[in-house]
């Protein structure tokens, strides 16, 4: 792990690192809370960071490791595994981070959480992709992204559209481990999202979690589109996360 001198991120000490060959970032709160709690931004570091900044102000650390535009594929998850091990076993951070999945980052957050439900403190998703047939596949009501759909198939090793469509690993189809483990689920979504239709993603997760006997919290933004991201009230959302994250 390389550790160059720290810089500043919105006034906080930022440490740029390398873990398993991937660039990582760790941002330090001014007055760290007990237990070294942390929020793990899965994708798009510093995009719409109001929630991250609210948690930093409350003493939580902010962490990120870049796995590229890989849509939560198995190879990406292995890098996330290595980063989690470094953060917890080597650096002494809390064993249950809060995962933050923004847009396609929802695939990273959900896929990693489903593989490791016992060590997830809470999963917060923001206009998330929970089914890649919806985006980038564009097989529902949204336009999708042909370029990203081709890249996703390459990352997962799919040989055809049909193989991609038959993939059984979508978050919407694998929620039972999260419900069984009692992982708190929190989604912020715009109900006019034109890129990642909430009806094909967040709404499906909510319905299937309920059918499994679980519950989740929804922060609806009436008329909200895909951008701008962020919960309706980042300060209140930060307080809710701290109060509900598993210890």
pLDDT tens for each residue of 91-100: 999 999 999 9
Mean pLDDT (whole number) for 30-46: 97
* Alpha carbons 136 and 144: distance in angstroms, whole number: 4
Residue found under tokens 């980063």? 83
129, with CB counted inside 10 A (0-12, 13-18, 19+), is buried
Closest CA to 54 of 217, 203, 236: 236
Max CA distance (Å), the chain: 51
Domains of the chain and CATH, by start: 7-244 (3.40.50.1820)
* Alpha carbons 188 and 166: distance in angstroms, whole number: 28
What DSSP line would sit under 9-44, residue for residue?
ETTEEEEEEEETTEEEEEEE-SSPPGGG-EEEE-SS
User: Which of helix, strand or coil describes residue 110?
Assistant: helix
141, with CB counted inside 10 A (0-12, 13-18, 19+), is exposed
Tokens of 14: 């930022």
Please state, as a whole number, how many other Cβ atoms lie within 10 Å of the Cβ of residue 4: 9
pLDDT tens for each residue of 168-204: 999 999 999 999 999 999 999 999 999 999 999 999 9
Query: What is residue 108's predicted lDDT score, i.e. its pLDDT?
Result: 98
Query: What is residue 6's predicted lDDT score, i.e. its pLDDT?
Result: 82
């Amino acid at each position: 792990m390389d550790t160059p001198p720290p810089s500043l991120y919105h006034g906080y000490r930022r440490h740029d690192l390398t873990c398993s060959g991937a660039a990582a970032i760790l941002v330090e709160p001014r007055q760290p809370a007990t237990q070294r709690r942390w929020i793990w931004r899965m994708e798009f570091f510093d995009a719409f960071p109001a929630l991250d900044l609210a948690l930093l102000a409350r003493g939580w650390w902010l962490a990120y490791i870049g796995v590229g535009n890989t849509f939560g594929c198995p190879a990406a998850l292995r890098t996330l595994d290595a980063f989690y091990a470094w953060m917890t076993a080597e650096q002494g951070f809390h064993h249950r981070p809060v995962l933050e999945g923004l847009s396609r980052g929802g695939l990273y957050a959900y896929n990693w959480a489903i593989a490791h439900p016992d060590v997830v403190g809470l999963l917060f998703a923001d206009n998330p992709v929970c089914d890649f047939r919806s985006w980038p596949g564009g097989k529902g009501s949204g336009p999708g992204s042909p370029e990203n759909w081709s890249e996703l198939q390459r990352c997962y090793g799919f040989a055809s559209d049909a193989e991609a469509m038959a993939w059984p690993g979508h978050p919407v189809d694998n929620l039972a481990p999260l419900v069984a483990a009692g992982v708190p689920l929190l989604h912020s979504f715009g109900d006019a999202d034109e890129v990642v239709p909430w009806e094909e993603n967040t709404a499906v997760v909510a319905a299937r979690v309920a059918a499994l006997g679980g519950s989740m919290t929804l922060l609806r933004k009436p008329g909200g589109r895909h951008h701008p991201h962020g919960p309706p009230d980042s300060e209140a959302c930060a307080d809710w996360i701290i109060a509900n994250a598993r210890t």
